[in-house]
Chain A
Amino acid sequence: MKVAIIRFPGSNCDRDVYHTFKLAGGEADYVWWSKRDLSSFDGIIIPGGFSYGDYLRAGAIAAITPVIEGIKDAVKDEKPVLGICNGAQILAEIGLVPGVFTNNINAKFMCKWTELKVKTTRTPFTNMYSAGDIIKMPIAHGEGRYYNDEIEKLKDQDQIVLSYEGENPSGSMEAIAGVCDENGLVCAVMPHPERSSESILGSDDGLKFFKGMVNY
């Protein structure tokens, strides 16, 4: 499994994701936003950061760059696509996952450890967990409040991937922290699995996200 790690001006978790994906046994290359053809890769990760300064809306400007067409092609080819934090906001802006991640209910940038419940194991990123597992991963975002005007449809179609357990730090609907598309191959999560993939970091609960992707 060789993944493209997409870089935009303002991406800042790209090296962490690269390190973690190798740790999980995969291969990775950095890809700049202007690259249109991603056909040589088996999967895609859009890392966190503040692409284009979060201007307009978080992820809005990244969502219209040439690399997005390559990502759409990868989705058509049923390759796994993971968006983390700003990457999740970008996937929602493109419409590859439903809904939107908007400003936190308390208007604050939230940077803290959270406990999360694994809601579905049908995605490549969560198939090494058991449904209902409680895992520990950190968040670091100002715009993580999930909103979707078709929330029942999301539940019916098993598209909720992670939800906050206990405190709902962003004020998300249904305490949602991560969602996927209908077939479960495109996954958008606000918490950072790459920052919780080695016990020295305080948790290695996130590593299975990448191991699952490597094994896909």
Chain B
Amino acid sequence: MRYDAEVKISLKKGMLNPEATTIEKALALLKYQVENTKTLQIIKFSIEGESEDIVRQEVDEMCQRLLCNPVIQNYEIGITPEE
């Protein structure tokens, strides 16, 4: 069975996010007053697997081995059957 996988990578709470700060300042230049700006990375792919659980486990392994740096990042995994 094929699944769509989505990995959402964010910075851990309390980590500085200079990119988000820069975006927030740029929005202020356009007179938009916003707060708590964050940027996230989303990585999507499709993957073959026996079950949703097995696929989730494999994607979790990918996160730990390559996609995320656990020192500064958190990740969320979404798995849905391919449409």
Chain A positions within 8 Å of B, measured between CB atoms, are 56-57, 60-61, 64, 93, 99-100, 102-107, 145, 147-149, 171
Which single member of B16, B22, B66, B71 contacts A56 (CB below 8 Å)? Answer: B66
Contact with A along B12-48 (1 / 0, CB 8 A): 0001101101100000000000000000000000000
Nearest CB on B from A153, distance (A): 13
Distance between Cα atoms of A80 and B72 in the complex (Å): 27
Distance between Cα atoms of A64 and B7 in the complex (Å): 19
Which single member of A103, A107, A148 contacts B71 (CB below 8 Å)? Answer: A148
Nearest CB on B from A42, distance (A): 30
- Contact residue range for chain B? 10 to 19
Which single member of B18, B67, B72 contacts A147 (CB below 8 Å)? Answer: B72
Distance between Cα atoms of A149 and B69 in the complex (Å): 13
Q: Cβ of A104 and Cβ of B18 under 8 Å apart?
A: yes
Q: Which residues of A contact B72 (CB under 8 A)?
A: 100, 102, 147
Q: Which residues of B contact A148 (CB under 8 A)?
A: 71
Distance between Cα atoms of A105 and B21 in the complex (Å): 10
| Contacts A99-B71, A100-B71 given; does A107 touch B22 at CB 8 Å | yes
Distance between Cα atoms of A100 and B16 in the complex (Å): 13
Which single member of B18, B65, B66 contacts A103 (CB below 8 Å)? Answer: B18
| Contacts A107-B18, A107-B19, A107-B21 given; does A100 touch B66 at CB 8 Å | no
Nearest CB on B from A110, distance (A): 12
Nearest CB on A from B19, distance (A): 6
Distance between Cα atoms of A100 and B18 in the complex (Å): 15
Distance between Cα atoms of A106 and B16 in the complex (Å): 10
Q: DSSP majority for the A interface?
A: loop
Q: Which residues of A contact B18 (CB under 8 A)?
A: 103-107
Q: Cβ of A171 and Cβ of B66 under 8 Å apart?
A: no
Besides the contacts A60-B69, A104-B18, A149-B71, what 20 more A-B pairs have beta carbons closer than 8 Å?
A56-B67, A61-B66, A64-B66, A99-B71, A100-B69, A100-B71, A100-B72, A102-B72, A103-B18, A103-B19, A105-B16, A105-B18, A107-B18, A107-B19, A145-B16, A147-B15, A147-B71, A147-B72, A148-B71, A171-B16
Q: Which residues of A contact B69 (CB under 8 A)?
A: 57, 60, 93, 100
Distance between Cα atoms of A107 and B72 in the complex (Å): 17
Q: Which residues of B contact A145 (CB under 8 A)?
A: 16
Minimum-distance CB pairs A-B, first 10? A107-B18, A107-B22, A100-B71, A103-B18, A100-B72, A105-B18, A64-B66, A100-B69, A57-B69, A107-B19
Within 8 A of A (CB), among B35-83: 65-67, 69, 71-72
Nearest CB on B from A175, distance (A): 15
Distance between Cα atoms of A93 and B65 in the complex (Å): 10
